[in-house]
């Protein structure tokens, strides 16, 4: 696999593809396959991390990720980019569907499985898959998150409650609590096993955990994304963050000129639009800073924080930045207790 320009995980081969729907999807798939998880959940949930390139069968040179991506048909890629996948979360899930169902090492068994009790929906399991090496089903929950850190806010400096979404409606602490207390434990219940039995062939069948506890469903969590550190003040990583998590910066609109001046090397800028917040866009999406910032300044107060990608041609690297209104944040989610 060609060496990527930097830690954003997109090879030069993919970065140079023209800017259109199919090539954007290829770059996003590459980014998704290579991007580390943001956090590791605390015990007692026995939950492993994301499916690896080895599981997907994309770790060998003769079957590399880029080579595989370039074999995908436009019709298949279009399934992740239809009108129903305009929300970032839905788009992200569809990319996982493509990876798990078409990579040489895995097969997608089921997706979006709702668990009912007396006609009440208790929750939904994102995906069920198996690997070529092992037919035992694996439950995978996925989430993609972009959080901005607050130098001043709830709890200690390392509190996940200080890391909030750009809209101010959720936080890293709230998401981890929901995963830890609800989404992941749900798949280990008899109701979930009864539902899953309807989706599985005899080869992939599971024993109910009450009958055979050793056969409990394997749980995995994929939570890629980016943590944006404040440009104007120091802030340590949140508790539970992985060492290799992807990082960006955020700044107030008034501070942007000073941040840009501090970079001290030529760059171009791309304005990222949902749902394509994942990989750096192609070369044709990058413009001079003055062009992009003119558009952002027009409506940032109405639409809220905007994410941009900087490209430094002399160094062949990227940098992510969230530019936020000077009054941001207008609200901060209440802290969440992760344990107990």
Q: Any idea where the domains of the chain sit in the sequence?
A: 12-324
In which element (H, E) is residue 268 found?
strand 268-271
Q: Which residues pair with 271 in a beta bridge?
A: 308
| Mode of pairing for the β-strands spanning 317-324 and 138-142 | unpaired
Q: Are 110 and 192 contacting, i.e. CB atoms less than 8 angstroms apart? A: no
Query: What CA–CA distance (Å, rounded) separates 23 from 70?
Result: 9
Spatial separation of the C-alpha atoms in residues 171 and 157, rounded to whole Å: 14
pLDDT value for 5: 45
SS3 233: coil
Q: Please report which residue ranges of the chain form alpha helices under DSSP H.
A: 12-15, 21-34, 53-56, 65-69, 74-78, 88-102, 172-178, 184-186, 190-197, 256-263, 289-303
What's the confidence (pLDDT) of residue 186? 84
Running DSSP on this structure, what letter comes out for residue 253?
G
Say if strands 317-324 and 306-312 run parallel, antiparallel, or are unpaired: antiparallel
Please answer whether residues 38 and 224 qualify as being in contact, where contact means their C-beta atoms are separated by less than 8 angstroms.
Answer: yes
Rg, Å, the chain Cα set:
21
- Residues shown for the chain: 340
CA dihedral of 12, 263, 286, 311, whole degrees rounded to 10: 10
pLDDT for residue 123: 82
According to the model, what pLDDT value does residue 2 have? 37
Q: Which residues of the chain have pLDDT under 70?
A: 1-7, 43-47, 61-63, 82-86, 199-216, 336-340
Q: How many CA within 13 A on the CB side of residue 136?
A: 8
3-state SS, residue 230 = strand
Q: Would you call 324 helix, strand, or coil by DSSP?
A: strand
Q: For 287, which DSSP code? A: B
What is the reported pLDDT for 33? 93
């Amino acid at each position: 696999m060609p060496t990527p320009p930097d830690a954003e995980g997109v090879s030069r081969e993919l970065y140079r593809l023209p800017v259109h729907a199919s090539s954007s999807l290829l770059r996003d798939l590459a980014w998704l396959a290579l991007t580390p998880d943001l956090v590791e959940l605390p015990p007692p949930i026995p939950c492993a991390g994301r499916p690896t390139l080895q599981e997907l069968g994309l770790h060998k040179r003769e079957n590399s990720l880029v080579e595989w991506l370039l074999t995908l048909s436009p019709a298949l890629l279009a399934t992740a980019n239809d009108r129903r996948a305009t929300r970032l979360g839905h788009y992200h899930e569809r990319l996982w569907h493509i990876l798990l169902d078409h990579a040489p090492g895995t097969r997608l068994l089921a997706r979006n499985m709702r668990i009912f009790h007396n006609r009440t929906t208790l929750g939904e399991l994102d995906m069920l898959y198996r690997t070529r090496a092992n037919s035992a089903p694996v439950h995978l929950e996925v989430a993609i998150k972009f959080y901005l850190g607050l130098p001043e806010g709830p709890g200690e400096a390392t509190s996940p409650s200080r890391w909030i979404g750009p809209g101010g409606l959720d936080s890293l602490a709230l998401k981890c609590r929901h995963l830890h207390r609800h989404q992941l434990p749900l798949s280990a219940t008899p109701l979930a096993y009864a539902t899953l039995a309807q989706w599985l062939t005899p080869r992939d069948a599971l024993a109910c955990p009450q009958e055979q506890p050793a056969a409990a469903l394997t749980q995995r969590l994929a939570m890629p994304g980016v943590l944006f550190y404040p440009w104007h003040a120091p802030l340590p990583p949140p508790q539970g963050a992985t060492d290799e998590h992807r990082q960006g910066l955020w700044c107030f609109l008034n501070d942007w000129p000073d941040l840009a001046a501090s970079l001290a090397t030529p760059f171009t800028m791309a304005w990222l639009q949902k749902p394509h917040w994942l990989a750096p866009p192609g070369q044709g999406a990058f413009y001079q800073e003055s062009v992009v910032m003119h558009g952002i300044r027009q409506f940032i107060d109405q639409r809220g924080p905007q994410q941009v990608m900087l490209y430094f041609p002399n160094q062949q690297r990227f940098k992510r930045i969230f530019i936020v209104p000077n009054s941001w944040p207008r609200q901060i989610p209440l802290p969440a207790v992760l344990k107990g």
